[in-house]
């Protein structure tokens, strides 16, 4: 008889902290990329700038999710 995989219960207790850490790490990556861009050619610099734009969009989404998770936690 095949084993059934059980889903783990939804544990949201540390989501805010994990998201905050992800935001911090993403900002650090953006800063490091900016520093690297100073020594890059135009093509690489454009790619770095595009990636940092995507990172900013991700940060905005994570910050919204942090607010939602904090509100859920305070229910």
- Containing 3, the helix (H) or strand (E) segment is none
What would the pLDDT profile of 18-52 be if each residue is shown by its tens digit? 999 999 999 999 999 999 999 999 999 999 999 99
Burial class (CB in 10 A: 0-12, 13-18, 19+), 19: buried
CA distance 68 to 63: 9
Average pLDDT rounded to a whole number, residues 65-73: 93
> Which residues are within 8 A (CB) of 31 and not within 5 positions of it... i.e. 6 or more apart?
none
Which of the four pLDDT bands, split at 50, 70 and 90, describes residue 67?
A: very high
8 A C-beta contact, residue 67 and residue 27 = no
- Structure tokens, 56: 């900013």
Q: Is the pLDDT of residue 1 over 60?
A: no
Report the predicted TM-score, pTM, of the whole model to 2 decimal places.
0.82
């Amino acid at each position: 008889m095949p084993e059934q995989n059980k889903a783990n219960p939804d544990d949201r207790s540390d989501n805010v902290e994990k998201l905050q850490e992800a935001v911090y790490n993403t900002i650090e990556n953006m800063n490091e990329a900016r520093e690297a861009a100073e020594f890059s050619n135009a093509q690489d610099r454009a790619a770095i700038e595009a990636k940092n734009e995507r990172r900013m969009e991700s940060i905005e989404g994570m910050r919204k999710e942090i607010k939602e998770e904090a509100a859920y936690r305070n229910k």
